[in-house]
Amino acid sequence: MTPILDIQNLSKNYGAVQILNDVNVAIDPGEFLVLVGPSGCGKSTLLNCIAGLEPISGGAIRIGGRDMTQVSPKDRDIAMVFQSYALYPTMTVAKNITFGMKVRGVDAATQAQKLAEVARQLQIEPLLNRRPGQLSGGQRQRVAMGRAVVRDPKLFLFDEPLSNLDAKLRVSMRSEIKKLHQNLGATMVYVTHDQIEAMTLATKIVVMKGGVVQQIGSPAEIYNHPANLFVADFMGSPAMNLIPARTRRQGDDVQIEIARAEGALVVRQASYGHDRPADVILGLRPEDIVEAGFRSGATVQAAKCRIDLVEPAGADTYVVSELGGKQVTARLHAETKAQPGAMLDLAFDLAKVSFFAPDTGERLN
Task: Give Cα 84 distance to the centre of its chain.
Answer: 20
Between the alpha carbon of residue 241 and those of residues 325, 328, 358, the distances in Å are 12, 6, 14
Tell me how far, at minimum, the Cβ of 126 lies from another protein, in Å: 19
Binding another protein (rule: CB under 8 A), the pick from 16, 103, 167, 298 is 103
Q: Does 280 bind another protein (CB under 8 A)?
A: no
Binding another protein (rule: CB under 8 A), the pick from 59, 73, 138, 244 is 73
Binding another protein (rule: CB under 8 A), the pick from 18, 29, 71, 82 is 82
Q: Does 99 bind another protein (CB under 8 A)?
A: yes
Distance CA 35, CA 192 (A): 6
Among 27-35, 131-139, 209-217, 237-245, which window interacts with another protein (CB under 8 A)? 131-139
Distance CA 362, CA 219 (A): 19
Q: Does 88 bind another protein (CB under 8 A)?
A: yes
Task: Find out whether 149 and 180 touch, Cβ atoms under 8 Å.
Answer: yes
How many beta carbons lie within 10 A of that of residue 120, not counting itself? Answer: 10
Q: Does 314 bind another protein (CB under 8 A)?
A: no
Task: Find out whether 288 and 241 touch, Cβ atoms under 8 Å.
Answer: no
Binding another protein (rule: CB under 8 A), the pick from 86, 239, 259, 357 is 86
Q: Does 185 bind another protein (CB under 8 A)?
A: no
Q: Does 209 bind another protein (CB under 8 A)?
A: no
Among 34-42, 72-80, 195-203, 282-290, which window interacts with another protein (CB under 8 A)? 72-80
- With CB under 8 A, what is the number of residues at the site for another protein? 28
Q: Does 14 bind another protein (CB under 8 A)?
A: no
Tell me how far, at minimum, the Cβ of 99 lies from another protein, in Å: 6
Binding another protein (rule: CB under 8 A), the pick from 15, 65, 89, 341 is 89
The SS3 call for residue 71 is coil
SS (H, E, C) 269-330: ECCCCCCCCCEEEEEECHHHEEECCCCCCCCEEEEEEEEEEEEECCCEEEEEEEECCEEEEE
Q: Which is nearer to another protein, 132 or 219 (CB)?
A: 132
Distance CA 35, CA 33 (A): 7
CA neighbor of 94 nearest in space, from 132, 151, 121: 132
In the sheet that 66-67 helps form, which strands lie side by side, from edge to edge?
A: 17-27, 5-14, 58-63, 66-67
CA neighbor of 136 nearest in space, from 169, 99, 171, 95: 169
Q: Does 129 bind another protein (CB under 8 A)?
A: no
Tell me how far, at minimum, the Cβ of 48 lies from another protein, in Å: 8
Binding another protein (rule: CB under 8 A), the pick from 8, 18, 83, 255 is 83
Binding another protein (rule: CB under 8 A), the pick from 17, 72, 185, 298 is 72
Q: Does 113 bind another protein (CB under 8 A)?
A: no
DSSP string covering 18-42:
EEEEEEEEEE-TT-EEEEE-STTSS
Binding another protein (rule: CB under 8 A), the pick from 142, 147, 170, 285 is 147
Task: Find out whether 39 and 52 touch, Cβ atoms under 8 Å.
Answer: no
How many beta carbons lie within 10 A of that of residue 271, not counting itself? Answer: 11
Among 13-21, 128-136, 259-267, 284-292, which window interacts with another protein (CB under 8 A)? 128-136
Q: Does 318 bind another protein (CB under 8 A)?
A: no
Give the footprint of another protein on this chain (CB under 8 A).
48, 51, 53, 72-74, 78-80, 82-91, 99-100, 103-104, 132-133, 135, 140, 147
